Amino acid sequence: MTAPTASSRRAVWFHRNRTRITVLAVLGFLFLAALGGLDREDWLITILRGLAVGAITFLVASGLSLIFGLMDVLNLAHGEIFMLGAYLGWTVYTRPDTVVDVFVPMLLLGAPLVLMPWLRRGAARLRGGGRRKALAVGLLVAGAAGTVAAVARFPLAIWNPGVYTQSPITYSLAIDMGTLAPLPRGSFAGSPLLVVVGLLVAVVVFAVALQALAGRPGGTARVSPRRLTVSLAMAGAAVALLVARDPVVGWLFTLSTTTRFLLAIVVAVLLGGGLGAIIEVTLIRPLYERPIYQLMVTLGLGFVLIELVRSVWGRPEFTMAKPAAFAGTGAGCPAEGFRGLFSGCSTVKMFGGRVRTYNEAFVIAVGVLVLVTVALILKRTRIGMIIRAGVQDREMVEALGINVRRVFTLVFAIGTGLAALGGVIAAPSMGLSPQMGGTLLLLALIALAIGGLTSFPGAAAGAVLVGLVQQFIIRYGQIGIDLPFLAEPFKPSPPLVPASTVLLMVVILLLLPNGLFGKSSR
């Protein structure tokens, strides 16, 4: 039996992929044909805007694809985590004093939980027997009530969405005009020492009671010096932040808006990833054998997050000011050429038109950076190899001494962190509203269906197609399309913008049931 030649292998590859190649060729032809109805400069600007929408869609779809492709979990709260990332980013960027005030009780909440081995040993003494169980329930209620009561007594400099002059809308305008200032510091409702100690005690009581009710083994585990150091560092940082609150807030307000925007990205991604880890451990992990329950839980979690955002930030939409690096105006602006992208101007003259440096350059660059980084992590790093091996054969990887549960928690955290990154990147370009998560989740699902549900490159391709189709429909809705059988140019109406992506998805799925880059399950 002779080995297949290179030509025969190419022939087999073309035969297997002839439908995919034909679809991609038709899509490429249609985008080139659009050049006939637009000026070259207009066509290029529309392409850039489509890529920008595709980049934001990809940041949501990439995390969704990672979680679904590697863990077989469809997280329907992913869009709301995108939304939460936008609001968290706005808060760090616009009201860092509020973030400092919130961090103090958060650090105090986390400090005792780091010492979980000690707490488990305490819980072991409460397990067993009806009286001890009743005692554990009582301690759980008392700990929860004490925690809530103590947290509510911490001072918090925050906005008031019910009063226009103190609302997020007003503060967004103030930072845009350079007049934003720290809010007056509040005071503790009671003795600060008593509130801090009371919070620590309440958290310890709550955690011990929770461990006792969960039936976790106490064992003889000891707290490592590293855990003890981390716990003490968190408690010390909270106290230091409490004492030096005003100088820290003053320093944050002296930072440039560009630096504060980068800080907002880091904080939003870390909080989004941390929230994802908590969701995986507490809500998803017990339901791996019940996928329908996973859908219901994540769907309900999405509604909870929407209500949380409405209660804290209010219902009205508002904007997030662009950082100084992308908001320059006046002399020298708009800049010209590719170098102008680094001039600080808000717009640059390129391709015969004006390109917005944030919307059509920075957003696209972030999307490309995430695509390359995540692909390299999955293909070239040890953690990427462990993730892929854990998906293929979980028992074998566990036999090698690797904690696959922890790896899956990391994957979920990376996915939700990417969603939060998408939110904070999208906020200055598309604004903030409680509905933004649902819209992006729908676009991300369409992108995944087009590109292939479990394909990371497919998520990128699908997101780009969604963005391009939307922007071309919007543009042709403004100028019209000359059709041979109509006397007047046909102008697509606004409802056709979302409908066009759904139509594209339906056509592609009819021809390629697994999407453009999805693998057949047969």
What is the rounded CA–CA span in Å between residue 240 and residue 290?
Answer: 45
- Rounded mean pLDDT of 24-40? 83
Weakest-pLDDT range from 236-245, 332-341, 361-370: 332-341
What is the rounded CA–CA span in Å between residue 204 and residue 148?
Answer: 13
Q: What is the DSSP letter of 125?
A: T
| Residue 235 near residue 105, CB atoms below 8 Å | no
What is the rounded CA–CA span in Å between residue 264 and residue 321?
Answer: 13
What is the rounded CA–CA span in Å between residue 75 and residue 417?
Answer: 13
Say what the pLDDT of residue 385 is.
82
What is the tens place of the pLDDT at every residue in 105-118? 999 998 888 887 77
Say what the pLDDT of residue 476 is.
85
pLDDT at residue 522 tops 70:
no
What is the rounded CA–CA span in Å between residue 44 and residue 46?
Answer: 5
H/E stretch holding 131 reads helix 130-152
Nearest 5°: the CA angle 300, 302, 304 is 75
Say what the pLDDT of residue 262 is.
96
The pLDDT confidence band at residue 126, using thresholds 50, 70 and 90, is low
pLDDT at residue 213 tops 50:
yes
- Rounded mean pLDDT of 175-193? 85
| Residue 64 near residue 78, CB atoms below 8 Å | yes
The pLDDT confidence band at residue 328, using thresholds 50, 70 and 90, is confident
Choose between 200 and 351: higher pLDDT: 200
The pLDDT confidence band at residue 307, using thresholds 50, 70 and 90, is very high
Nearest 5°: the CA angle 412, 416, 421 is 145
Weakest-pLDDT range from 12-21, 301-310, 367-376, 392-401: 392-401
The pLDDT confidence band at residue 55, using thresholds 50, 70 and 90, is very high
For 485, phi then psi, to 5°, come to: -100, 10
SS (H, E, C) 91-134: HHHHCHHHHHHHHHHHHHHHHHHCCHHHHHHHHHCCCCCHHHHH
pLDDT at residue 220 tops 70:
no
- Rounded mean pLDDT of 456-463? 90
Choose between 241 and 3: higher pLDDT: 241
pLDDT at residue 166 tops 50:
yes
Say what the pLDDT of residue 43 is.
86
Say what the pLDDT of residue 215 is.
63
Say what the pLDDT of residue 222 is.
66
Say what the pLDDT of residue 37 is.
75
Encoded tokens for 165: 């002059």
Say what the pLDDT of residue 14 is.
81
The pLDDT confidence band at residue 88, using thresholds 50, 70 and 90, is very high
What is the rounded CA–CA span in Å between residue 468 and residue 465?
Answer: 5
Where is mean pLDDT largest: 194-203, 285-294, 349-358, 481-490?
Answer: 194-203
Weakest-pLDDT range from 102-116, 152-166, 336-350, 460-474: 336-350
Question: What rounded mean pLDDT belongs to the chain?
Answer: 86
- The 3-state DSSP class for residue 432 equals strand
